[in-house]
Structure 1
Amino acid sequence: MPDRPTYPGTHIEEILTSQRTITGVPTSITAFIGRTVTGPMGTGEGGTVIIKSFAEYEQIFGELSLDSPVSYAVRDFFLNGGTSAVIVRLVEPSAAGEARLSARTYIDDGIAALDKVNLFNLLCIPPDSFNPQAPESDRDTDNEVYQALAVYCVKRRAMLILDSPVRWTESARRGAFSEIQPTDFGIEGEPGCNAAVYFPRLIEADSLNQNRPTVMPACGAIAGVFARTDDSRGVWKAPAGMDAGISGILQLEINLIEEQSGILNPLGINCLRSLPTIGTVIWGARTLRGADVFSDDYKYVPVRRLALFIEESIDRGTKWAVFEPNDETLWEQIRRSVADFMQNLFRQGAFQGITPDEAYFVRCDDSTITPEDIEQERINITVGFAPLKPAEYVLIQIQQMRLQS
């Protein structure tokens, strides 16, 4: 199994604390980027806004609007179990507020706004329009946007939820499943581990259009199911299967049968299925690196999300160490603190293995910290865990470093 270490930059607050307990960070704070009816601009005064319900969204950003697909996505998020959302309102600066957003606005202003957010775990960027009369390019989020934000999600230890392209549905209707490929997004390498696509889109009764059946992007509802699953089962449980039902929809844009999902799933495409007596459910849990041919450590969404959760929690929970002498006494404190955190996850059933030794390990000693690291005031922590799938250990590396004055 390849070792894919990360060495994230760390902003250090000079607060010395005796607290050595590592607290797990939230796992389902979902950021939404797009146009809203009103509300503070993501890059302006007031910046991004954290909301806890769709009613709160309506109070700040306005009601549902046909010109704001993000409003529908946020509604679906809370309807399906979401509890905390970050809203990034964007407008095209060179035109009226209802003008379609350019790729550069999404990327430049979207990232600038998200840089102000302390923590988010999931990212949704609904297409700028779901009007069937609009050009296909308006009904798809630009691949340039997806590519840039997937790279950004690696930096922020977040997962990007992709909506399937409009043309995939027509290809499926023609039986041309060879035309449906996750490579269409152009997201390669590590960013693909932080992204997942779901197909097909949803059909909902649009209350603003006489409850007519309308095709909607699925990302908000999917993020809601993620949040619901995290809350009930843990971030290590796949948000898929019989208990991963999607609420508030009429049907799927196209009904896939088992044989068809059997073609798409091994490619890294997560299918939505309508099952008799069960309803509409998520029927796949792979990242964009989930194609069988890749044999990637982060093939599966829950494995990647668990790793991101562990990394973020340990990174935040060991910042105190950069102000301590970099010696064996410190390393022992770190090992004990991280091991306690991992043991708690083990007790909750997050890992494979009957014993802790089979489930995880923690290293912070002269095998991870060299004399040069000590000279440069770097502390390297290596954590391995056995995820809930047939696999060897997944390795994580955390580095803490005192900022140079």
Structure 2
Amino acid sequence: MPVPLPFPGVQIQEIPAGVRAIVGGSTSVTAFVGRALRGPKEVATRCFSFDDFARKFGGLWADSPMTYAVYHYFQNGGTEAVIVRLAPGANRSSADLATGASPNLTLEAASEGAWGSNLRVTVTDPAAGSFLPAEATQVFTLTVREVDPAAPSDTSRDRATETFINVSVSSSSPRYVKRVLEQQSSLVRVKTDATQRPTNVANAPFSSVGDGSALAATDYDNPGDLSFQSSRRGIYALDAIDTVNLLCLPPPARTVPQFTGVWTAAASYCDKRFTMLLVDPPASWTTAAAAAARTGLTSLTSKNAAFYFPLLVMPDPLAAGRPASFAPCGAVAGVIARTDGERGLWKAPAGQDAGLRGVDGFSVSLSDPGARLALTDAQCGALNPAGVNALRPLGVAGSVVWGARTAQGADVLASEWKYLSVRRLALHIEQSLKEGTRWAVFEPNDAPLWSQLRLSIGAFMHQLFRRGAFKGARSQEAYFVKCDAETTTPADQDRGIVNVIVGFAPLKPAEFVILQFQQITRAIA
């Protein structure tokens, strides 16, 4: 039945295009799991710079290799990090403020750790005339300071100061102290409520607590605890984040390499998350030969993992710039992020342009930065076919990443996922298409839906092709998208299944550039 027009003249009607745009997701969001001075415990938290990390997690800590890895990540070009703080056995400092009634108002540090022992709280009278007489026993002004223990005793230098004017112990007040601190304070929370305001006090100290125990393998993954994964503990705290492209698990302590079982669990987790695991060299890799044999990690052959060797020697800002050995995962993740931004993730994150910033040399010992190793061409030639990515000095180019293979990159495995850039491009496509085609769920499973899927996915793949992600001079040579009655049979339709086949021709890195020379001699007359 025709729809009557409202008035004579030109009428405008918008017709849907039928193509739903698929936006490519991020490519270098990097997750770090380990100890930190402060911050939320086992809660995945985004940081966009090292200053941002320092505000939320306390910055560099000599006992935490993770904090250095995050520093190296942003130093080398990283842009977005996701932090999971592990703090087994750590408690929160608290301060019990005396009141005229029981219970007393008790404040506690916003997060676990010894940092809370540096907090001081001051309670003063409220501003005159700012409250009704009936509120006189409820309103007060609260000031919280985080003192700098390194500052001289005759100075008043503080790391942070927060003042909350005219807060109240009454839950009906718009300035209810518990709610105000939850919303506005980065230092303290209310642990125990009170019915009357606390008495005036100046610089009352918080209790002294420690930073908890050293990390164990079960702090990352605990197969014996059936609720460990479902409650999002350890590495599984990352389940709260939609996209994590790279995962770094720095050593649990300065001289203790990462646990072998943790690498295995993390690789299995990454296989399910479109994530690449950057594996640091274990303690057994004391020579290039041991690294080429993948001693201690021979069973780790995940296509979503990549080995790097050796350790980095870099200045330690907390030790007057003296050299120390560090796991390479953070710096390598920064190089990958930088390469993605400058060239695209289809460019192998290796070569002369993949410089490692701030690196003074290389070592094979976490405890001894003097155990130096500068890989030679011959040693790199042994590592490459074994699927181990070399880190090496390269003359005036400085220290560089000189390998771009996955853990399946060993020649003997003959894997289609040999190269890191190819695998990461596939993960990017898979994740982008998964997120960008959710609209198709519960749509009528017939030719119009198949056509829309072909158009949407084809447009996404063509965009990648135009940016140089695929091999081939023409789009027909670079990729294909098939979704029709051949891929989705009547039996599939009865089961509610739509099958889409997507293929692409990846660009593979030129690992071996062969120059052939021929001397031309003058012919004899």
| Residue of structure 2 in register with 1:238 after alignment | 348
How many residue pairs are counted as aligned between the two chains? 357
Higher relative contact order (CA 8 A, sep 6+): 1
Q: Does the 8 Å CA contact 1:147/1:186 hold for their aligned counterparts? A: no
| Amino acid of the structure 2 residue aligned with 1:184 | G
Q: In structure 2, give the amino acid aligned to 1:161.
A: L
Distance 1:97 1:370, change over 3 A: farther
**Are 1:99 and 2:213 matched, yes or no?**
yes
Task: State the partner residue of 1:279.
Answer: 398
Residue 101 (structure 1) shift:
1.3
1:194 aligns with 2:304: yes
Residues 54, 93 of structure 1: CA spacing in aligned structure 2 closer, same or farther, 3 A cutoff?
same
Partner residue, 2:328: 218
Contact 2:90 2:211 in 1 (8 A): no
User: Residue 314 of structure 2: SS of its match in structure 1?
Assistant: strand
User: How much has 1:179 moved relative to structure 2?
Assistant: 6.2
Task: Give the distance between the partners of 2:345 and 2:410, measured in 1 at CA.
Answer: 22
1:127 matched to 2:240? The reply is no
Residue in structure 2 matching 1:205, options 300, 309, 315: 315
Does residue 40 in structure 1 map to residue 36 in structure 2?
Answer: no
**Residues 337-386 of structure 1: CA distance to partner in whole angstroms, max 9, x if unpaired?**
10111111111110111111111111112232232321222222111111
CA distance in 2, matches of 1:164, 1:377: 46
Q: 1:281 is paired with a residue of what secondary structure?
A: strand
Per-residue CA deviation, residues 308-359 of structure 1 (Å, 9 max, x unaligned), is 0000001110000013100111001101110111111111110111111111
1:49 and 2:45 are equivalent in the alignment: yes
Shift of 1:205: 1.1
Normalising by structure 2, report the TM-score: 0.66
Question: 1:84 maps to which residue?
Answer: 80
Distance 1:343 1:58 in 2: 41
Does the 8 A contact of 1:36 with 1:89 survive in 2?
yes
On the 8 A contact 1:322/1:377 being kept in 2, the answer is no
Cα RMSD of the aligned pairs, angstroms, is 1.9
Q: Check the 8 A contact 2:310/2:362 in 1, yes or no.
A: yes
Q: Which runs of 5+ in 2 are unaligned?
A: 1-16, 92-209, 222-227, 364-372, 511-525
Counterpart in the other structure of 1:181: 293
Cα offsets for 1:169-205 (capped at 9, x unmatched):
x334xxxx1564236325445xx11000110110011
Partner SS, residue 268 of structure 2 = helix
Partner Cα separation in structure 1 for residue 73 and residue 501 of structure 2: 35
| SS of residue paired to 1:161 | strand
CA distance in structure 1 between the partners assigned to 2:78 and 2:474 by the alignment: 34
Tell me the distance in 2 between the aligned counterparts of 1:182 and 1:364: 42
Residue 438 of structure 2: aligned partner? 319
Q: 1:335 to 1:183 in 2, by over 3 A?
A: farther
Q: Mark the structure with the bigger radius of gyration.
A: 2
Give 5+ residue unaligned stretches, structure 1.
1-16, 132-138, 392-405
SS in 2 for 1:273: strand
Q: Tell whether 2:25 aligns with 1:25.
A: yes
Which amino acid is 2:287 matched to? S
What does residue range 3-402 of structure 1 map to in structure 2 within 5 Å? 20-42=20-42, 47-93=43-89, 97-107=211-221, 108=228, 109-131=233-255, 139-168=256-285, 170-172=286-288, 177=289, 180-182=292-294, 184-188=296-300, 192-253=302-363, 254-389=373-508
Residues 389, 403 of structure 2: 8 Å contact kept: yes
